[in-house]
Each structure stands twice: as structure tokens, then as C-alpha cells.
Homo-oligomer: A and B are copies of this chain.
Amino acid sequence: MENSSFLQFEQKVKKDPYANFLGIKLDKVEKGYARVSMVIKEDFCNFLGYIHGGVIFSLADQAFAAASNSRGVVSLALQMSISYIRAPSVGDTLIAEAKEEHVGSKIGLYQIKVMNSSNQLIAEAQGIVYRKQK
């Protein structure tokens, strides 16, 4: 992508409806990399009183989508695996970083880490995308 279209891409990611619904912010996006963050609200608990796995996954997925679409090719998630390490708390700020491990003509592979504001590992994920041919 040219610089102007990269800026357009960044603006588009910032307007992501579901990310805004949850309060996920795009902190940084580069080619093959993205970092997003969110504050954990009361609404994000599950029936056991822990933060819902779907919230943590959603944050990781937003970093994954931003990183994998950052090269100007529409990239759709095929598969994602997530391992949960530590339960975050209401009020915590969580940060998810996605890094490109591989990008080929059809497939891209990304690793995503979710940390809390004390830099403790909350969850770690691995995802693959299918890159649509134009």
C-alpha cells in the first residue's frame, strides 16, 4: 500500500464497529504488525465472575485482523487457537500485539499475545488467514 492508502486503512480499522462497541483502541499498526488495547469493564464478566473468554479472544482477534490486513490484501481468518494463562481483572487495561510469522501468496500466519498493564501474559494465540486474490 502507498502511504495514503495505508492511512485510509488505519482510519478504517479505527472505525471497526465491533471494536468500538467493546471499547478496543488501535494503538499502532504497521505492515505485518498491530497493537490494540481495551479497558476491562464490569459488563465483560462471565457467570463465574471471571472475565469472559470471548472478550479476551475479541481483543486478540482485533490485533490479528489489523496486522493481517495491513498489506493491502483482504485477509480472512481461517483458524485461531487461544491458550488462557491468567485471568485479568475489571479495570485492567489489556494490550494485544499481533506479529506476522509468515506471509505467502495465499496464507498468512500470526502470533498474538495478550498482556495486562503489569506486562503479565493473559493469553497467547496463533491464527492463520486466507489472503483473497484480487
Contacts and interface: CB of A to CB of B under 8 A. Distances in A.
A39 interface: no
Contacts of A54: 18, 22, 54, 57-59, 61-62
B21 A43 contact: yes
Interface residues of A, number: 54
Copies in the complex: 4
A46 B101 contact: no
Contact of A76 (B47, B50, B66, B126): B50
28 contacts: A13-B47, A15-B47, A17-B42, A17-B45, A18-B44, A18-B46, A18-B55, A21-B43, A46-B62, A47-B65, A47-B69, A48-B69, A50-B76, A52-B58, A54-B54, A54-B61, A54-B62, A77-B84, A78-B83, A79-B82, A81-B126, A83-B109, A85-B104, A85-B109, A101-B124, A102-B121, A102-B124, A111-B111
